[in-house]
Structure 1
Amino acid sequence: MQTNSLDKIIREIDTKTVDAKNKSRFPEEEIVIIDRETWQAVPNKSWSWFRNLAFYLVSNTDNPTNVAERQARPYYLTNFATGQKLGVSITYWASCDPGNEAKLVEALCRGKTPGDALDKKVEKWIADFTKNDASIFLENYPVQLARLREHVRIKLKEEVGVNLELKLSLEKEPQLEPFSIPAFPLEVYVSDCDEPLELQVQTELVVDDNNKVKAIFHDVNDAQEWQELVKLFKSEIKKYLLQYINIDQFSYELKDTVRNQLVVYLDKIMVNYGRRVGFLYLESNAVPSAKQLVPVKCKVECEVQKYSEPIYVENTLLMLPLNTARYKPNQASKLETWVEGKLEKIIKPLLLKKTYVSVLLDFEPIATEIRDLMEDEAKSIGYEIQQIVSVPDLEHQELKENFKVTFEEESFATRDVNVKVLLGVSVTARIRDFTKIEDYLKPKADIKKLIRRTVHSVTGQVLATVEPERYYMRFNHPGVDEQGKPLEDKSVEQELIEAVEQELAKQFNAQVSRITADVYDTDIAKHFKKLYGTIGSFEVEIASIADIEEAVTYKGDFQIEGVEANSWYTFQARKPEMSDISRSITRRLDAKLSVFTKEDLQFTDLEYLSLLENLINKLARECVVDQFGLEIIMTNLSRSRTQQEKLLAEEISQQREAKK
């Protein structure tokens, strides 16, 4: 601290300095002369009449830098209740307005120094405001300190004429630090549980800015104060948990809701010690990581009427713990056993009154009753059932919804029993009313298998009435004759679908939603497709028996049009290749046309060509139908020139050349 840190605004000077200043005085400086006998200022012009004088140079605020800073000695207040002392540190910044120079000097010149005199003035007005009682700062310290500062400033302005900016602080405030309590175990109780719970606690108590005085009076650096505060902190945690927290809150809300509420509560206690909770960490082994749904699954064996074997009801539950005190976390492993026992007591009597068909038809009312009864049971142990699904595991359950039966590539006889076809059928259906088929609903009765057998049987019956030619050529659509008139009302496929639908509805009360029939190629069908996609050809040399002349050679093409009605077995039995058909045509034409004369065989005009084509076409078709059961058509019929025709043509050509 400076000896007189107010020198920047007021200092005593000697007469030489007075003379010097009078010669070169600055506007912001004023010399004040004091009569030491009266301690009053005297005019400059008459000061020579006084013998005991003091001279002061005052620097005013005409120069804004004329501000003096001073740190006064601490002022101590007393807590009369405890006898503790509270030191108030004082720092101020002083300045003098123009015109107040004499008033400033008169107020401060009697002290050892002006600074000491001003310090005493400050202390006087602190004492005047506080009555020297430190308890004034125990509550709402910042507000009280601000009021004190304003009180001192106003009084000094009025009495001394000094402008004063005052900084007041607690002497020990810099020593206030956060107070950490390392992690420690604590055995606690909650309001609805008689068993102790282990709790790990760690915290830090920081200084409450509004109650720093209390923090100073309860100095945690003092061992006794430290022990008492820790003891109080632990006891208040135990007290709060016992009075206000239940086991569910402790189990599932410890780290958020409970922790936050506990902080608020502890802050109300710690405020008396000038502290508040900076952070609070709570941990317990008895606490699950979160309030989670508990899934439980169990199967209950039951007896029903009109069914010789037991059935099973599968149950899936999602349970939420609400009151863990009734069913504590360490018993959770037994929850599944408890659920299974309760469900058996509920479900077995309910189903004993029901028939198998009634359970199969509509289980929903039973499931609703199971849910309602089970919800009441769960509440008794502090749980809420968020979801429960009870489903009977019935042998015929799947028949309530659309199901599918199929067979693939099964061999069936047609109307011609010697001709087999391959067909696959897929049926999608559902049972409309199980009461209509109650006789089928027996243990181990595979109704889908029975339905499949029925579909197979009906398919066989329908195909046994169908000609092979119709099956292969008109399975998906009705045929028409050469005049475009329908050969039948329905396709083979439509007849089959209607027959299956009628029989399933009659026998099983089944509603069919879809039937598909897949035609598979048999060996004979594959062979027919191969022939159908090929163009055959023939060449036959015919010598007239009647004329014994040179042979005539015919050429032509043929293609397969289909299988002649009622001849599929013939085609299937002989399975010809195109070469076989060509040879057969050649032999038939040679046999039939060799009796013609040379003139008949050697057609020379289109009219006769047409007649001959029709004849050859008829002969060839009859031949192929008889031998192979196939319908053919002949095209591109032609004959080669005979040797005589070639010579004649050459002779005519030479004659024409000679005439040129």
Structure 2
Amino acid sequence: MKNTINLDKVVRKLGVEAATPVAGEQVVVTVDRGTGEAVRKTLGVRFGGNYTDYLVTNDRNPAASGSGKLSPYYVRDAQKERTLALDIGVAACSCPEGSEAKAAESLHWGGSPAQTFAALMERWVLEFIPPGDEGRFIDTYDAARAPLESHLARRALAQTGLVLLPRVSLSGEAAVPREIVVGPVEVGVRLQDYKEQQSLTVEAGLRLDEQDYVRAYVFQERQESPEELFKRHLREYFEQRVTFEQFSRELQYPHLKQPMLQALGAALLQVGRRVSFINFSPGGGKTTKPPREFVAVTYPYNHNIPGRAQPVVIHNTVQLYCDNSVAFLASGVDDLEAWVKGTLNVILKRHLIGKTYADLLLRFAPLENVKSELVESIKRELSARAAGVGYKVDHLVSVPHLKELDLVNPFDLSFDDTFETKLDKFEVQLKFDLRLRIPNLQTVKTYLNRDEDVKEEIKAAVLSETRRLLRTIHPERFYLHFNHPDDEAKDPSERQAVKWLIDEEIRKGLTLKFGAEPLGLTTRVGRTDLTDRYNELCFVIRELHVSIEPHDPQGTESLTLTGNFEVRGVYPDSNGWQRFSSMRLDLDGLQTQLQNHLKSELKTYYQSGFMFQNQIARRQVFKVVESYATQYMRREFGLMVHLTNLDRNTTEAERSHRGLLGDIEKRKLNDAREQGEDLMNKIKALKKRRSLLLLSPDDKEEVEELNNSIRILEEELDSITSPRFGRHHLAAALESQLPDDLPREGEANHVSVQYELDAEAKPQLTE
């Protein structure tokens, strides 16, 4: 680029033509070319010929200003073989008033004032950047640019008298991109621990660094381009700091990219750039496939034990993760799963040779909170071999397929059976729900060696102990005191509830015989024929109808007693249980039998004895019926029965007599009404007459007679209107049975008479 500085508006060389300067703004200065000084132009000077005229315009004219730019100025650092190109421009240049002569004198050398001024500016730059100081200027350009501009302004004013506003900038700013995008390009890299070249596609952005951007404008004579510099340092970084494991699995992770960006950015500072982003993708060339990061292998190993027809299957589950990919690639293993199975086969065969069934069970089964020594030994050997092929054993489970291993964990047993009691032919059923565990299988080693089913042995032990106990238990105690203790038992050993006794003995037996830890035991009475019959009969309210047709010749019609009864249990004695157990009737049959029995027993009494009309008579009848019912049910069936209520029907004779009495009372009331009306009319007439006599004081005696008559009539009227209830008797035998009087208000809550069998509730059968 050529010099473009133009000062014609400030200082211009005049030719032969005459110039008329503007007063106050322009001055014609004549300079002696020999001395370089301004002279006064006289007639002799005018014709001397060794003089040059300059038209100088001062700053009183605002338009009198120069501008332009020098040719690119190259600052070359020979030591580091680098060059920085500067653009030095003139934003403004003016001549102060009074400095016209000085400006002309300083700029008359050379061709034109502008050329002379450009040469002076280059000289002044060289003064600021002396030889040998170029490197410092390049490295501190941002800090040195403003001082350089100040230096040029000072030198211009001091040497030429001109006021200069210089501008220093980097040459070629438009030609230097702010960001260079590299790729996508395929790059071959070698790794820290794996030297076979891997193909990688890279795309990256190389952006100008905010602090060291100047270096991007410096021409480095022996420096690579930013793109090539980036590729070279990328290869070096992979070879020095990236492992095969990272290359295969972590290339996109920030924890790997971040230090890479920092390292590449530091390398690119010499060209004034940094890495703004970087992306990786698989290259089209050769790339070694990494081994699987996680591998899970399941291997069933069949172990043959002498004397057993079937082998014991030991299920092995191995989880491995790749710890050293390079070691695996160098191992030459193609099929890792096959390698694991083959290695496990060798290890298990060596560790299990000569082991019996019980040994396998006990040595594989870990104690509580303690790992199995055998399994740990197998895992250690497998881990050592896996490390040789670059893998680490994360998890190993070797469990023989032995059902007895479940015994160490809580398990449930549910079973039932029928047992004989102390009385022959009295069988009861019990149901067991058992939850337990065997913490240490050593306690059942004897059963294991005999190849016996431990769970079945536990069931047999529970049933045997229960059978032994129930042969000492009377059925009465079993049914009545299974869940609840018998505090009234004479023998203290029989006071404990049967359930508690059985549970206690079962727990002791399981602990002593099997070393078991019972976690829960529920013993329940099962459904036997006896309990089914008991539950069907007891605590159901049934109706009772007894029609009495007595042999009493005075009994003119049937009398029906109605009520309800309830079976409340079996009499707690041997006879009661014997009769109850042999009974084959249902509740309907019992009801029929009871009604027939009461009918045959009660018909021998006078009928009038059951026609109660008050509480005393009803209580007497109730006791008679209840006595017959309870004795009969106990004697015949061994049952306790409770009569809940009793009532009788109203006979036809009672209804007829009640109608007869009603008719008599009705006729009496009609007669009384007619008599009352007649009395009221007479009283009314007497009172009217008395009112008239009261006006005469001489008729006192007659008034007194009228008052006596009125009083007699009113008393008779009161006797007619007063309620009267006669006493009517059905027969001579009922004369003593008077209906009860209604209770007074305070006694109304005490009319009902309660009948209770016992103060305490009877025990019940529970299933």
Q: TM-score, normalised by structure 1?
A: 0.77
Q: Show the 5 A alignment for 1:423-462.
A: 423-442=430-449, 445-462=452-469
SS at match of 1:615: helix
Indicate how the Cα distance of structure 1 residues 41 and 475 shifts in structure 2: closer, same or farther if over 3 A, else same: farther
Q: Show the 5 A alignment for 1:391-430.
A: 391=399, 393-407=401-415, 423-430=430-437
Which residue in the other structure is 1:510 paired with? 516
Quick one: which amino acid aligns to residue 328 of structure 2?
A: Y
Deviation (angstroms), 1:635: 3.0
Percent of residue pairs bearing the same amino acid type:
23
Instruction: Find the partner of 2:560 among 541, 544, 553.
Output: 553
Indicate how the Cα distance of structure 1 residues 291 and 249 shifts in structure 2: closer, same or farther if over 3 A, else same: farther
Q: Show the 5 A alignment for 1:200-219.
A: 200-203=201-204, 209-214=213-218
Quick one: which amino acid aligns to residue 405 of structure 1?
A: L
Indicate how the Cα distance of structure 1 residues 268 and 509 shifts in structure 2: closer, same or farther if over 3 A, else same: closer
Paired residues of 1:205 and 1:276 also in contact (CA < 8 A): yes
SS at match of 2:328: coil
Deviation (angstroms), 1:34: 2.7
Instruction: Find the partner of 1:497 among 464, 486, 503.
Output: 503
Which residue in the other structure is 2:542 paired with? 536
Deviation (angstroms), 1:50: 7.8
Deviation (angstroms), 1:445: 3.4
C-alpha distance in 1 between matches for 2:381 and 2:191: 31
SS at match of 1:554: strand
Q: Choose 158-167 or 239-248, whichever is displaced more.
A: 239-248
- 1:38-85 CA distance string (max 9 Å, x none): 555689xx9999866544222179x8x987542333345678799999
SS at match of 1:36: strand
C-alpha distance in 2 between matches for 1:653 and 1:459: 75
Quick one: which amino acid aligns to residue 71 of structure 2?
A: R
C-alpha distance in 1 between matches for 2:420 and 2:43: 157
Indicate how the Cα distance of structure 1 residues 434 and 144 shifts in structure 2: closer, same or farther if over 3 A, else same: closer
Which residue in the other structure is 1:328 paired with? 329
C-alpha distance in 2 between matches for 1:484 and 1:281: 96
Indicate how the Cα distance of structure 1 residues 403 and 575 shifts in structure 2: closer, same or farther if over 3 A, else same: same
Quick one: which amino acid aligns to residue 192 of structure 1?
A: D
C-alpha distance in 2 between matches for 1:343 and 1:508: 35
Indicate how the Cα distance of structure 1 residues 17 and 96 shifts in structure 2: closer, same or farther if over 3 A, else same: closer
C-alpha distance in 2 between matches for 1:230 and 1:369: 57
C-alpha distance in 2 between matches for 1:325 and 1:583: 98
Indicate how the Cα distance of structure 1 residues 339 and 425 shifts in structure 2: closer, same or farther if over 3 A, else same: same
Indicate how the Cα distance of structure 1 residues 484 and 230 shifts in structure 2: closer, same or farther if over 3 A, else same: same
Indicate how the Cα distance of structure 1 residues 145 and 305 shifts in structure 2: closer, same or farther if over 3 A, else same: farther
Which residue in the other structure is 1:251 paired with? 248
Pair 1:620-2:619 in alignment: no
Quick one: which amino acid aligns to residue 372 of structure 2?
A: E
C-alpha distance in 2 between matches for 1:419 and 1:403: 33
Paired residues of 1:85 and 1:134 also in contact (CA < 8 A): no
Which residue in the other structure is 1:126 paired with? 125
Indicate how the Cα distance of structure 1 residues 443 and 338 shifts in structure 2: closer, same or farther if over 3 A, else same: farther
Q: Choose 584-593 or 354-363, whichever is displaced more.
A: 354-363
Q: Choose 464-473 or 355-364, whichever is displaced more.
A: 464-473
Indicate how the Cα distance of structure 1 residues 443 and 138 shifts in structure 2: closer, same or farther if over 3 A, else same: farther
Quick one: which amino acid aligns to residue 429 of structure 1?
A: L
Paired residues of 1:320 and 1:384 also in contact (CA < 8 A): yes
Quick one: which amino acid aligns to residue 458 of structure 2?
A: I
Q: Show the 5 A alignment for 1:285-324.
A: 286=287, 292-300=293-301, 311=312, 314-324=315-325
SS at match of 1:93: strand
Q: Choose 183-192 or 484-493, whichever is displaced more.
A: 484-493
Instruction: Find the partner of 1:74 among 58, 63, 72.
Output: 72
Paired residues of 2:58 and 2:64 also in contact (CA < 8 A): no
Paired residues of 2:363 and 2:372 also in contact (CA < 8 A): no
Paired residues of 2:563 and 2:644 also in contact (CA < 8 A): yes
Paired residues of 1:430 and 1:511 also in contact (CA < 8 A): yes
Paired residues of 1:60 and 1:96 also in contact (CA < 8 A): no
Which residue in the other structure is 1:34 paired with? 29
C-alpha distance in 2 between matches for 1:603 and 1:83: 144
Indicate how the Cα distance of structure 1 residues 184 and 176 shifts in structure 2: closer, same or farther if over 3 A, else same: closer
C-alpha distance in 1 between matches for 2:616 and 2:273: 130
SS at match of 1:167: strand
Paired residues of 1:524 and 1:575 also in contact (CA < 8 A): no
SS at match of 2:325: coil
SS at match of 1:637: strand
Quick one: which amino acid aligns to residue 190 of structure 1?
A: L
Indicate how the Cα distance of structure 1 residues 2 and 338 shifts in structure 2: closer, same or farther if over 3 A, else same: closer
C-alpha distance in 1 between matches for 2:481 and 2:495: 12
Deviation (angstroms), 1:425: 1.8
Gaps of 5+ in 1: 23-29, 220-224
Which residue in the other structure is 1:159 paired with? 159
C-alpha distance in 2 between matches for 1:342 and 1:609: 99
Quick one: which amino acid aligns to residue 319 of structure 1?
A: L
Paired residues of 1:137 and 1:213 also in contact (CA < 8 A): no
Q: How many residues align?
A: 638
Indicate how the Cα distance of structure 1 residues 76 and 642 shifts in structure 2: closer, same or farther if over 3 A, else same: closer
Pair 1:360-2:365 in alignment: yes
Indicate how the Cα distance of structure 1 residues 150 and 524 shifts in structure 2: closer, same or farther if over 3 A, else same: farther
Deviation (angstroms), 1:583: 2.4
SS at match of 2:495: coil
Paired residues of 1:188 and 1:199 also in contact (CA < 8 A): yes
Higher strand share: 1
Paired residues of 1:60 and 1:101 also in contact (CA < 8 A): no
Indicate how the Cα distance of structure 1 residues 486 and 386 shifts in structure 2: closer, same or farther if over 3 A, else same: same
C-alpha distance in 1 between matches for 2:448 and 2:64: 113
Deviation (angstroms), 1:508: 1.6
Which residue in the other structure is 2:91 paired with? 93
C-alpha distance in 1 between matches for 2:534 and 2:142: 112
Which residue in the other structure is 1:222 paired with? none
Paired residues of 1:218 and 1:273 also in contact (CA < 8 A): no
Pair 1:116-2:115 in alignment: yes
Paired residues of 1:531 and 1:577 also in contact (CA < 8 A): yes
Paired residues of 2:88 and 2:166 also in contact (CA < 8 A): no
Q: Show the 5 A alignment for 1:556-635.
A: 556-565=563-572, 576-598=585-607, 600-602=609-611, 606-635=615-644
C-alpha distance in 1 between matches for 2:118 and 2:644: 140
SS at match of 2:168: strand
Deviation (angstroms), 1:427: 0.8
C-alpha distance in 1 between matches for 2:456 and 2:95: 116
- 1:92-128 CA distance string (max 9 Å, x none): 3235596784455543455655443332222223345
C-alpha distance in 2 between matches for 1:413 and 1:9: 140
SS at match of 1:328: helix
Which residue in the other structure is 2:758 paired with? none
Quick one: which amino acid aligns to residue 495 of structure 2?
A: D
C-alpha distance in 2 between matches for 1:138 and 1:338: 68
Indicate how the Cα distance of structure 1 residues 634 and 383 shifts in structure 2: closer, same or farther if over 3 A, else same: same
SS at match of 2:645: strand
Quick one: which amino acid aligns to residue 121 of structure 2?
A: V
Larger Rg: 2
C-alpha distance in 2 between matches for 1:552 and 1:42: 175
Paired residues of 1:570 and 1:628 also in contact (CA < 8 A): yes
Deviation (angstroms), 1:514: 0.9
Deviation (angstroms), 1:195: 4.0
Deviation (angstroms), 1:403: 1.9
C-alpha distance in 2 between matches for 1:258 and 1:594: 112
Deviation (angstroms), 1:498: 1.6
Deviation (angstroms), 1:532: 4.1
